[in-house]
Structure 1
Amino acid sequence: MNPSAAFLQQALDASPQVFFVYDATAARIDFVSAAYEQLFPDFRRENATADLPRLLALLPAEDQQYARRCLGELLAGHHCDDLLLRLQPSPDAPLRWVSMRAQRSVSSEGQVLLSGTVEDVTAEQEYLRNSDKYMAKKNTTLEILSHDLAGPFNMLQQLAEFLEERTRSLQDEHVQKMLRIMRDTCRDSVNLIRDFVDGEFMESSNVDFKPSRVDLVQALREVVDMYRQGEHLVAKHFFFRSAQPLLLMEVDNNKFLQVINNLISNSIKFTREGGNITVSVEQQADQVLVSVADDGVGIPPKMLPVLFDRFTPARRPGLLGEKTTGLGMHIIETIVRLHHGRIWVESEENVGTTFYIQLPLPSGAGAK
């Protein structure tokens, strides 16, 4: 080995990342750095080729299919994003995450090579998932509080309007002025609350699109559970339905849960007290269908064709007078399109409304 090559190998061996070179033509690992044995303590680098089947067996079945699909696309010359894979050596072992980055090249002898890195990103993934979890919790809490706080303000506003009308014959300008102040303060307070929540949604929607592998069943269940805890505040009942306990999808978790939060918020606005709101998810062949359904007042037929338009003329106040910007549904549709999906709505007045979101199911992803 020449001095330059020896120095390069020493540098690679000193890195906490695993560097590798895989000869796809010969189905052989030509090089793997020393960090390989740190990441996988039960394996030895000199046996890396022979141990490949054992290494693949550390991945859950869904991740094995996902890895095979992505590496197959890469070997065929197609682009493949970085692989985020779960490792679980045994059922009782804690789940770990590894990130694999690879690129394809062809040697002067015509050999197809994959070279890249593998590193443990468990701490990073736990941080991101906790961050997404608390972001979703924050958004859900804001929606619940906005409806909870808006209710009393709307009631006081209606009371002020009623008293203003009934006391007009007294011709007491002082009383009329106080009632107008009370009415306007309540209206402005409701608008301020809604503006704040809408602002949070708009701000989140402008963040860069960053998809990652997410258990959609768990993510949606956590959102609905948050609303269940606030049922007494919004006087609605919330339900979650899924035929699968686990469903791995490539989505921007923060953005997609914002979509679900916004749809649930819309259902709350147009569902009477004691009504029901149900979030469902199911796998259908090569796609996933998510729905948010309510038994509220429904949407007039003339509004349905323009519901997703920017500044749609279909915007209308909620049952408690909640205002709308007309941008919410347009942004929701934009986020769904970023996920290569589509959204549509079915509604009948005085029966209810259901929003459907259809997402493509990546090959190798799926349910248990």
Structure 2
Amino acid sequence: MKNEFISTVSHELRTPLTSIRGSLGLIAGGVAGELPPQLKALVDIAHKNSERLILLVNDILDMEKIESGKIEFQLKPVELMPLLRQALESNRAYGEQFEVSYELESDLPGIMLNVDANRLMQVLANLLSNAAKFSPAGDKVMVEVTHTGNRIRVAVKDHGSGIPEQFRDRIFQKFAQADSSDTRKKGGTGLGLSITKVLVEQMGGSIGFDSEPDVLTNFYVDFPVWQETAVFASGLNGKEKRVLICEDDRDIAALLRLMLEQNGLAADIAYDAEQAKKMLAQGKYVAMTLDLALPDQDGISLIRELRESKEASVLPIVVVSAKAVEGRQELDGEAISVIDWISKPINQDQLVLALKQVMGQQADSQPRVLQVEDDPDIFRVVQSIVGEVAHLDHASTLAEARQLLGRCRYDLVILDLGLPDGSGKDLLPLLNGASPPIPVMVFSASEMGLESEKEVDNALVKARTSNEMLLATIKQLIGVQ
């Protein structure tokens, strides 16, 4: 009965709270024009308290998952600094409630951690919100990143009231609050730091703090650096979308790179299959061109191997080969993410068009997004958030979604899991089986299981996702800066 109740709370509270929070955030941000001072004050109060309610619901649900052993993590290498900047931006509005700002005081570009990006964002949000809550008005919360040996430390520092000596050994316990002090007036469930500690440790990290009351309080998390990034780190820019060219003929490889660079696409070269596999494992590529005649491995067997690997199971591949026609016949539809087969000599326009379609860089049209969502209020909120960067279509059922997917090619599908005529997961075979596969972002009150998350490009939970985070994720997936 308890599990059933928690499940009901998750959906029935998160969905309306998402509409409330999103709508109030848009109004407070000026989407309806400038508000009279008295009305703006009321909207700000409502928005602030919707955020407070969301934090309460999420803490209770997270603790239930931890206690039942159902909390899952999707660990993969991610670049740290973009996540930190996104966390500061996502929490900026929360800090403004306390007249506190956030500042990043150091930068370590290119550093990678093997973590669950969404869970790390949750950890950072907990630490940043705590620091803002206990800081004096007008103060700055500083975020410092340091690299010592094989570990990275992210420290969140504030100049607030600090941690009382008698409370320090209980600070990471459930429901722990320094009662009868000023901290009680700040509110909260007392679950945030307990949840944070579990999340950090489950991702292979550790958490600690130093505190000198009214001088400096420093909460920090340590994670090991993802080791395998060093070999091919040179030339990789985390802000660029890169294509991997796998071609043993050095002249043709150089020609391919020149063609792509002339059209604004960055590229790296692997001259054999073994080098390509290493680079795919160690760098983030959005697509790959592949010659089928390689010195160390047949291109067809390489495609099959990549489809079985974690790093490249759905990587879009453009075959560029003198044997393109024969290779296509041999695979006979087996490699669902071979998006085009281009025979040598190379048709530059065909190559660039195929890659730009994958990377969401069509210059002549706005990206097209399909949202599969049965709650019309949620759709209207999302439409208001992304309206300037993408054209958004709406399907309220699986049947409507299938009809729209049959008529139109979409750059992204935003998918709710709970629909009137079935589960949103039922669409995944259709979306992943498209040529090229259609990127999928799950946006649902229900959290996906670990196995299911491997089938989508991103998964966000309603009432855990701010307007800013939702927009940033969508822009990333459709290739809009």
Q: When the two structures are superposed, what TM-score results if normalisation uses the length of structure 1?
A: 0.45
Structure whose CA Rg is larger: 1
- Superposition TM-score, scaled by structure 2 size: 0.35
Bigger relative contact order, structure 1 or 2, given CA contacts below 8 A and separation 6+? 1
